[in-house]
Every structure is written in C-alpha cells, then in structure tokens.
Structure 1
Amino acid sequence: MTDEITCVLVVDDEALIALGLTVTLRSMGLRVCGTAATAEQAIALAQQHRPSLVLMDVRLKGQADGVDAAIEIHRTVGSSVIFITGSREPETVQRIQQDHPAGVLFKPILPVHLKAEIDRVFGH
C-alpha cells in the first residue's frame, strides 16, 4: 500500500483525534508528514510536504473549514482528500461534495474502516 502514498497529512482540530489517526496510519506502515488544526496550517503543510493523501476534518478552528482547505489543497497540490466528519447533516454532506472528495468517513472511525477507505482510494 505504501508504494503510491508518499505521506499523509492529518487535519483535525481535536488533538486526541489527530493523534489517534496518526498512530493508526503509522501502524498501517504509512508516513504522516504532519498534523494541522486549522485550514491555514493544513494548506501550508500540504504545500510544503505535497502529501498523496489528506485526512480532513470538516469542522476546524478558525474562519475557514476543512472544505475550504481541501479545495485549495486540491487546486495547488492535487492531493487526494478523505473527509472525516461527525455530522451527517445534509448541509455538511453537500458542502463536502463541493470538492469532489476521494472519500468520506463518519466519526467514530475504526482502523479497519480507515484502511478499507485508503485501499479503495488508491486501488488496492
């Protein structure tokens, strides 16, 4: 699985969730190139590290949300984005669809579901 994935950027404003995702990704043999809690941090890290994959929470600290960040990252870097959200509200799901996401996972995320979604996105 790691052949096509250079690194993964984890974006979540809850530190414990970001840490949990980081540990899970590393246990899958993937390199995490950074974590971010805001859209601005996410965009800067993505432009610096050019990750193959971004795990993007929809709700972030600050004025911009994860969809704003994903649109800019997709435009400037081209990373695949899997959105992570705790909300199943139609407005949230519609907003996510603005970026043509590679995938969407709903919290809480089990490691087996994360691995399955990453495998699906990268054709494994």
Structure 2
Amino acid sequence: MNNVNIVIVEDDVLIAEDLRAMCEEFDANVVGMAHSVEEAFDVIENSDAQYVLMDVRLGGKRDGVDVAQWVYDVKPDMKLVFITGSNEPPTIERIHQDHPFRILIKPIQPEQLREALTAK
C-alpha cells in the first residue's frame, strides 16, 4: 500500500491515533489529521491524499457529512471512507447522499480498513 496518502478526520484523539497506527501497519502515509470541521477543510485542501477517513460526528454544528459534501465539490477524485459509530438509518442515508467510497462502523478491525483502502 506504498504511495497511498490518507487524511484522518476524527474528533477523538485516541481513535485518530489508532487509525494512524493501522494505516502505518499497511505502509500507507498519513499526510494529515484533523479533529474538527475547520481543521478538516484546511488539512484536506492542502494535502495530496487519495483517501479521507471521515468520522461523522465532529463535536460541532457541522459534521463529517458537511465536510464530505465540500470534498466532493473541490476534490471529486478523493475517496471518502466514513468511519462512524452511528449506524442508525437516517445517518447512513445522509452519508450515502455524499458519495462515500466505503462506510465502516466502529469499532473497525484492521482487515476492514485494509479492504477499504485496497478496493477499486
């Protein structure tokens, strides 16, 4: 998985670090991390990532789905992998409106993440 660049958007620092460790185990490059919507806009805009691991709930009025809508407009080739603990139907339906590449429900296993990052 060399040369795969990833941005992680996750408000929980421990989960973000766990995701970083999983990515690094697969030899993927974590080129940025954001813990809020505002940080996400900046980090994603200034990265050369192919993937964004996106949490839905980011602790503010806007959330990961709002960021995903923006990503789809400005970087349509970037693949969005939602990683969320919210699996209720309204949330999943909202995510599906934003062109997700994959949706993974927390807690995720390393093999689930590997599959999401290697799928075509």
- Determine whether 1:116 maps to 2:115: yes
Offset, 1:61: 2.0
Could you tell me which runs of 5 or more consecutive residues in structure 2 were left unpaired when the two chains were aligned.
Answer: none
Distance in 1 of aligned mates of 2:118 and 2:47? 21
The partner residue of 1:12 within 7, 10, 13 is 10
Distance in 2 of aligned mates of 1:28 and 1:118? 9
Q: Is the 8 A contact 1:84 1:104 kept in 2?
A: yes
- Number of matched pairs: 119
Provide the aligned C-alpha RMSD in A. 1.1
The partner residue of 1:48 within 36, 46, 51 is 46
Q: Aligned ranges for residues 95-114 of structure 1 at < 5 Å?
A: 95-114=94-113
| Aligned amino acid, residue 14 of structure 2 | L
- Identical columns (%): 38
Which secondary structure state, in structure 2, belongs to the residue aligned with residue 49 of structure 1?
coil
Q: Is the 8 A contact 1:46 1:77 kept in 2?
A: no
The list of structure 1 runs, each at least 4 consecutive aligned residues, that deviate by more than 3 angstroms after superposition, is: none
